[in-house]
Structure formats: C-alpha cells, structure tokens
Amino acid sequence: MQSRVVVGCFIVYLLAAIQIQAQKATCTNWKTFVLNPSNLSNPSEESEGVNDNHTVVGTAFYTFNKPNFKGFVHFSNGNITYWRPSNAKYSWFNDRNILGNTVGGYVDTLGILHAAYLHGSTTTLIVHPKATHHSTTVVGINNLNTLLGTYTDASGQHIFKRRSDGSFLPMPNFPGAVQTLPTAFNDNGVVVGIYMNPGDCCGIDHGFIYRNGAFAPLNYRKMVNSNTELTGISNNSVIVGDHYGNAFLYSNGVFKDIVGPNGQQVTVRNISAGGIITGDTSVPGSVGPHGFTAACQ
C-alpha cells in the first residue's frame, strides 16, 4: 500500500514537471516594481492585493533580524508607504479596495495575532465573536467594504464575511474537505479559494468557487490529482491562480497561462474588481521576488 502511495506521488510530480501546451494569456500595461532600488534583494516582496487604481499591497521581507517583515502599499506613481504598528513584531497586508481601505494583520511583541482593517486614519481590529483567543484572520476586502476571513473555535476553522455595518455572516467549508481556505472574493460576493481532501497525496490543494450558496471545484485544466491554487476573482468572474508555479487565468471555461513579458515565470496572487492582476516575478540582479501589475485576457 505504501509503495502505491509513493508511486502515486511520483506520478503527480512528474505530471507537474511536464510542459503542457496551453493557451497563453495576452497581457498589456505590464509594470514591475521594487521597493528599494538601491538594494534589489533587501527587501524582497510578496504582492498580495491590488485595486483598480493599480495600488498594490503586500509584505516586504528583510534579510536582517529575521523574521523581519512589514506591510507595504505601492502606489501607481511609485510612492511607497509601510505599516507596522508600534507594538508589532511583524506585519503584513492582504488586500485593498478602490476606496483605499486595506486589510492585513500583525503579531505583537507578546506573540499574539491580530487581524486589522485600515480605513482612513482608523485601524479596527477584527475579532469574530465565536473565535477562540486571537484566531481571527482577514484575507480580503471588496469595494463594498465587506471583509472575508477565517476564525477557529473548538470545532475547527470556519469562514466568515463581515459586512460594513459590522455584522458577521457564516460561510460553510467545502463538503468533505479536511481544510477550506478562502483567498479572495468580488463585489458580487463570489468567493474563491483552496481546499484539501482527506487522503490526497503530497499536500495537494484544489480550487473552489463559492457562489449563491453552492460550491464548485475548479482544477487547472481539470487535473484533479494536481495542485491548483485559486487566488483572485474579478467582478467579471475572471479567476486567477497558480499551478505548481505556473500562473493562469480562467475565463468563460478556458484556462490561459500567464508569463512575464520576457517569458519569465510569474506567481499571480490577486486580481482587482476591474481586472488588474498582481503578483511576483523575477527582476535582473535580485535574488528575491518583486511585484508587478498587468492587464491580462
């Protein structure tokens, strides 16, 4: 039995290593950025969210005093701001909407996790009323100021939406899954994310779409025994994600691979309501990933 599992895992990785002929997305207005032009490797960044103004938020990772990272906002004009509360050891941003409101989190000097919602000059800490001690996270925000996140209680991890009036709405986990993780949602309330099935080999993730109270699985090119991570959805239901380091978009039933302007590999982490894509790619002279924005179809 064990040998079958090993062989099965080997086949999965072998399939992932094979270059698959697929349609290629057409991308325009491709812009790559770095946070510190004087030292391309310090910090490196992970770009997690973008709005229709091409403003990108994410996390800057520094090479000294590790773990050492903090949230950043990169504006379309090149200006950059950073966020790490005075009582925080490290911090991060996950998403930003067209109103300039941002969600993320931080770990304080006592090692306690906090989920944060930044709106104007105000920072609101988000705590689900059923959450065990400091288990709430916020992963997304849409243009209606609805938040998407998770919390943990005695029975496990759960998903929620938080309306702009502060009320919480529950969302179920994927049926039969051992874990369900939301990653993003749009202004229509459609959620995408990943789930893991019991017995799956090698930590395989599957993609899901949750719309109007119903789940639908979405695996890259219908490869159910391969890794698919859905990371964003636009208001036009264009979905972006990654498959073993291969970025893609999915629209109208068609998968298209996303590659950099010089053919380089990219990781796609989100898409705005209007279709601006962000993520990370390589920059000559740097050992770490750096951010980009583009419009792809």
The structural domains of the chain, ordered by start, are 2-296 (2.120.10.30)
Across the range 91-102, mean pLDDT stands at 99
| DSSP class per residue in 58-95 | EEEE-SSSSS-EEEEEE-TTS-EEEE--TTEEEEEEEE
**Tokens, residue 63:** 């090479």
CB 272 within 8 Å of CB 52: yes
| pTM higher than 0.95 | no
> Which band of pLDDT confidence, cut at 50, 70 and 90, is reported for residue 13?
very low
Predicted confidence at residue 21, as pLDDT, reads: 54
pLDDT score of 236 more than 90? yes
Tens digit of pLDDT for each residue in 21-38? 579 999 999 999 999 999
CB 90 within 8 Å of CB 69: yes
Is residue 222 helix, strand or coil?
helix
Predicted confidence at residue 166, as pLDDT, reads: 97
Predicted confidence at residue 285, as pLDDT, reads: 77
Is residue 31 helix, strand or coil?
strand
How far, in Å, CA of 188 to CA of 273, rounded? 10
C-alpha pair distances (Å), 227 with each of 50, 76, 177, 185, 204: 24, 33, 15, 20, 5
pLDDT score of 164 more than 90? yes
How far, in Å, CA of 127 to CA of 277, rounded? 29
Q: Classify 236 in phi/psi space as left (phi over 0), alpha (psi -120 to 50) or beta.
A: alpha
pLDDT score of 1 more than 80? no
Q: What is the CA radius of gyration of the chain?
A: 19
pLDDT, averaged across the chain: 92
Helices (H), the chain: 2-17
CB 38 within 8 Å of CB 290: no
Tens digit of pLDDT for each residue in 69-91? 999 999 999 999 999 999 999 99
